[in-house]
Structure 1
Amino acid sequence: MKIFRLTLAAALLTAGTLAATSAQAQAPLKIGYTDVQYVLSQMPESKQIESELKTYNSQLENQLKSKSSELETKYKAYQAGEATMTDVVKADKQKELQNLQQSIQEFQQSAQQSLQQKQQTLLKPALDKLQKNIDLVADENGITYVFNSDGGGSPLLLHAPKDGDISDMVLKKMGITPGANAPVVRQPTNAPAPTPAANKTTPSKTKIKTK
């Protein structure tokens, strides 16, 4: 299972950024980085988010199983009585089976979309909290830009000194002891429909948002 990928919003042309750019003329540019996956995994909200996602995913799976069971039952009944059916009845039963099969396919697609929306809804408060504390740490330490060094997928940062990592500072700002090994917010593996590829991240100042 892979952690949710977080999308970084491009938000450089703000009043605050313009002010910071002016200040850069008098002070050296300071860049920091944080592992969003690591920080998110340490937040206490991650356990509750994962639990709610698993519950919601199970509900969708149960609905899918019910629909599949109905299709299987009706198909077996069709096979058992096919030999004695008139052409009109046979055509009607075949049409019914086709409609049920199509309904299942449509449900799989809508269920995956619904699961993704649920993920975004559950993650938003945690992402907003993370963003707020990244901003606080950056401001307090005179950091102009913060990059995501997330080790999953393709990290935005390929090399940097350890003292530029503000991940633990962000956790402490939220009152969390670094390295608590809290469960990672993950996507359920048994989703009713195939999980799409994770969203790529793009660089920005520090802004984080759900897609």
Structure 2
Amino acid sequence: MKKFFILLVLSILCGSASWAQKIGYTDMEFITSKMPEYQLAQTEMKKFSEKWAKEIQDKFAEIDRMQRAYMAEEILLTEDLKRTRQNEIKEKELEAGEYNSKIFGMEGLLFQKKKELMKPVLEKVQRAVTKVCSQRRLDFMFDKSSDIGMLYTNPKHDYSDYVMEELGIDPKNNKSGNEEKASRTDEPEQTQTKVPTPTQNSPKQKSRTSKLK
């Protein structure tokens, strides 16, 4: 769908004689693979991922030991001791699952660490993209390797205000002073560049169902 959209935009821009805009594309996946800063960030990410994965694996290994010990001693335990041991195991399982989500969840610590490590790389890439577009007088820059599609757009081609007015929406009521666009100018607008996500070594932990009900 993304590629279809890009091709559609390109065909419209290139097919109209009245358009004088210049467009270009780049391959950010290839570019970032050649950046020492990106490689360093990937290495750091791998270290954190492996460290946290080991901690979670250790937690589940401890649960396995507790379960084996319980099964070996079950016949000798009173009903009260059985319930106590079962609850201890269940609490450990819950704790391990919550910690796994805390680290490798959608907004977990690994995700936050990736943002932190990638921020300087993203900023450096965006500065380069903006400078190249300015020097080459490009109005649009696409990234063929990313879902984000558009890396750079000249704000003078932004007609959002006109569309909002057509819909009966006052654009000024939907923007703060700091977000007010310098529309219809030649000031370059920066669009955040999406750098390919580094490989993450998430723990291959399967959901465990307690053997003890």
TM-score tier (shorter) = 0.5 to 0.7
TM norm structure 2: 0.60
- Secondary structure at the residue paired with 1:81? helix
Give the structure 2 partner of residue 142 of structure 1: 137
1:68-111 CA distance string (max 9 Å, x none): 12111111111111111111110011011111111111111111
> What percentage of aligned pairs have identical amino acids?
26
Once the two structures are superposed, residues 137-191 of structure 1 have per-residue CA deviations (whole angstroms, 9 ceiling, x without a partner) of: 00001101111111x6x6849xxxxxxxxxxxxxxxxxxxxxxxxxx86222x31
The answer on whether the counterparts of 1:64 and 1:107 sit within 8 Å (CA) in structure 2 is yes
Q: Does 1:130 align with 2:122?
A: no
Tell me which protein shows more helix as a share of its residues.
Answer: 2
Q: Which of structures 1 and 2 has the bigger CA Rg?
A: 2
Please give the alpha-carbon distance, in whole angstroms, between the structure 1 residues aligned to 2:115 and 2:30.
18
Relative contact order (alpha carbons < 8 A, sep ≥ 6): 1 or 2 greater? 1
What is the match of residue 193 of structure 2?
Answer: none
Q: 2:50 aligns with which of 58, 74, 77?
A: 58
Deviation at 1:193, TM superposition (A): 6.5
Residue pairs, 1:5-154, within 5 angstroms: 28-112=20-104, 113-150=108-145
User: What amino acid is the match of 2:203?
Assistant: P
The residue that corresponds to 2:203 in the other structure is 192
SS in 1 for 2:73: helix
Task: Say whether the 8 Å CA contact 1:149–1:156 is kept in structure 2.
Answer: yes
Partner-residue secondary structure (3-state), 1:191:
coil
Query: Could you state the TM-score of these two structures normalised by the residue count of structure 1?
Result: 0.61
Q: Residues 193 and 69 (structure 1 numbering): CA distance in 2 closer, same or farther, change over 3 Å?
A: closer
RMSD over aligned Cα, in angstroms?
2.3
Question: What one-letter code is carried by the residue in structure 1 that aligns with 2:202?
Answer: A
Separation in 2, partners of 1:130, 1:155? 14
Which runs of no fewer than 5 residues in structure 2 stay unpaired?
A: 1-17, 151-195, 206-213
Q: Using the alignment, how far apart are the partners of 1:88 and 1:52 within structure 2?
A: 48
Is there any run of 5+ residues in structure 1 with no aligned partner, and where? 1-25, 158-183, 195-211
1:40 offset after TM fit, Å? 1.1
In structure 2, C-alpha distance between the alignment counterparts of 1:118 and 1:110, rounded to whole Å: 12
1: CA distance, partners of 2:29 / 2:134: 21
Question: 1:23: which partner in 2?
Answer: none
